[in-house]
Amino acid sequence: MKKSEADIKNLVIYGGSFNPPHLGHREAVHTALEELQPDLLLVIPDCEPPHKQMETGSPSPEERLRLCELNFAGLDGVQISDLELRRTGKSYSYDTVLQLQEIYPDARLTLMIGTDMLLSFEEWYHFEYLLQHCTIAVLARELDDEDALRQTAEQFQNQYGADICLVQHTPLPMSSTDIRGRLRARGGTDLLQEDVYREIIRKRLYGAQPELRWLREQAYTMISAKRIAHVAGCETEAVSLAMHWGEDPEAAAEAGILHDITKGLSYKEQLKLCEKYDIICDTDELKAPKLLHARTGAAMARDLFGIPDAVYEAIRWHTTGKPDMTLLEKIIYIADYIEPTRDFPGVEAVRAIAYTDLDAAMLTGLRQTIEEIREGGTEPYIDTLNACQWLEARMNERRQ
């Protein structure tokens, strides 16, 4: 049950940049809830940290707030506050404390801070006021600096009448800076709350690149068991084609993993996605539902996993092909065609030349597909025909 403001007697404040918020922050809050038994614990992401520069390219304050909501979700007695985000200029705890004293006139305020923060506390704006009016809960990092810590605490107690308590807390051996580095290097899942990681990848905050193992897990829950083998094969084939032809193997892996995520959806569900993602289909596409999954798959992969444009395009064109394809687009088209679990008639012809002449492999694949579709009594889609014609012209030029 939500307590009214007047019921809050013991209010703990946990401020910081939370850039990004991680499992260590969550653990600290968990400890504080147990040790300090507050009526309310407010997590307050700062707008402009007073003591350091926020790294350029950091997510907006609103995005950090959203990440905090995800990071601290499900913890009873915890609220995320946008108090500092609504103020302009540097985010001084002093201003925050004054505001909170007005909102919660009956509350004793406790500031949660790290060890290093206590040691430099005399640099804080109006630190005397803070020491005289708030309890300071220090999350003691390592036991080694306990002496320095106790000394400082004692000094503050004698000099300012401060009320300082130590909360034993073993933090992650990681800072947010380290985590940002990990995110760029396709790591970080073990240090972040699942939903926080998902949101970071979705928006590719911090220049994050998804961990491929995580991406596979996500994709494989979206498709049938039978299709997993095909998708895994397609990824492997795409990576080896990329290495062979000088394309980025990680982009190829992402495209391979995600290329068929909507393949198992019904026609009705495909149409729903077309509407959601503003995909306008022509009548031929509507008549051949198999064509839709390339378009809805690309849109959904971008929405859920923030794929870059090159990967988006490779997924978008993996079924029909099109004229003048990029290297990555061809690689995904061919990988999808020849991956090891494929055994339809004609696959060998493409396999035989995929590593010696990619355009010839494309042309063979397209021609065989066109033939197969015509044998089935329908006319291939215009993009497929155009892709084929374009390559024929190119191959003729090459011969001349």
Q: Which two tokens stand for residue 96?
A: 């925050």
Close Cβ partners of 283 (under 8 Å, ≥ 6 residues apart): none
> Is 237 one of the binding residues for Fe ion (CB under 5 A)?
no
Round to whole Å and give the CA distance between 270 and 257.
19
Q: Which runs of E-coded beta strand occur in 49-157? A: 78-80, 108-114, 134-140
- What does the DSSP 8-state code read for residue 291? G
Which one of ligand DGI, Fe ion, none interacts with residue 141, CB within 5 to 8 A by kind?
A: none
Q: Which stretch in 9-17, 82-90, 149-157, 314-322 sits in contact with ligand DGI by CB under 6 A?
A: 314-322
The reply on whether position 260 binds Fe ion by CB under 5 A is: yes
Task: Give min distance, CB of 284 to ligand DGI, in A.
Answer: 8
Q: Which does 369 bind (CB under 5 to 8 A by kind): ligand DGI, Fe ion, none?
A: ligand DGI
Q: Give the one residue of 336, 350, 351, 363 binding ligand DGI; rule: CB under 6 A.
A: 336
Binding-site size, Fe ion (CB under 5 A)? 2
User: Interface with Fe ion includes 313 (CB under 5 A)?
Assistant: no
Distances from the Cα of 397 to the Cα of 41, 350, 351, angstroms: 71, 21, 24
The helix, strand and coil proportions of the chain, stated in percent and rounded to the nearest 5, come to 55, 10, 35
175 binds, among Fe ion, ligand DGI, none (CB under 5 to 8 A by kind): none
Peptide bond into 249 cis (omega under 30): no
Beta pairing partners, 166 = 138
- Interacting residue with ligand DGI among 169, 318, 330, 351 (CB under 6 A): 318
Element (H, E) at 165: strand 163-168
Residue 336 touches Fe ion, criterion: CB under 5 A: yes
Each as own residue / partner, the long-range contacts of residues 58-67 (CB below 8 Å, 24 or more positions apart, any chain) are 58/19, 58/206, 59/19, 59/20, 59/203, 59/205, 59/206, 61/85, 63/203, 63/205, 64/17, 64/18, 64/19, 64/20, 64/21, 66/199, 67/18, 67/20, 67/21, 67/196, 67/199, 67/200, 67/205
Instruction: Verify binding: residue 319, ligand DGI, rule CB under 6 A.
Output: yes
Q: What is the distance between the alpha carbons of residues 347 and 339, in angstroms, rounded to a whole number?
A: 9
Cα distances (Å, whole numbers) of residue 147 to 42, 75, 99, 115, 398: 29, 33, 34, 12, 78
Stretch that binds ligand DGI, among 72-80, 203-211, 290-298, 301-309 (CB under 6 A): 290-298
Structure tokens at 332: 């995904």
Instruction: Return the residue matching tokens 């509507």.
Output: 286
Helix (H) or strand (E) holding 237: helix 225-245
378 binds, among ligand DGI, Fe ion, none (CB under 5 to 8 A by kind): ligand DGI
Count of residues interacting with ligand DGI (CB under 6 A):
17
- Piece in contact with Fe ion (CB under 5 A), picked from 58-66, 117-125, 255-263, 378-386: 255-263
Q: In the complex with Fe ion, which residue's Cβ is closer, 109 or 314? A: 314
| 235: contact with Fe ion by CB under 5 A | no
Q: Does 262 bind ligand DGI (CB under 6 A)?
A: no
Tell me whether residue 135 or residue 369 sits nearer to Fe ion (CB atom): 369
The type of residue at 390 is W
Site for ligand DGI in 351-380 (CB under 6 A): 369, 373, 378, 380
Q: Rounded distance, CA 288 to CA 378, Å?
A: 10
Q: Residue 194 or residue 392: which is nearer to ligand DGI going by CB?
A: 392
Contacted by 216, from ligand DGI, Fe ion, none: CB < 5 to 8 Å by type: none
Residue 91 has which token pair?
């985010």
Single residue of 81, 135, 193, 320 touching ligand DGI by CB under 6 A: 320
Closest approach of Cβ 276 to ligand DGI, in Å? 20
Cβ proximity to ligand DGI, 153 vs 253, nearer residue: 253
Which residue lies nearer to Fe ion by CB, 134 or 273?
273
- For the segment 213-242, give every residue that binds ligand DGI (CB under 6 A): 230
- Per partner kind, with CB cut-offs from 5 to 8 A, the member of Fe ion, ligand DGI, none near residue 290 is ligand DGI
Residue numbers at the binding site for ligand DGI (CB under 6 A)? 230, 260, 263, 288, 290-291, 294, 318-320, 336, 369, 373, 378, 380-381, 384
Residue numbers at the binding site for Fe ion (CB under 5 A)? 260, 336
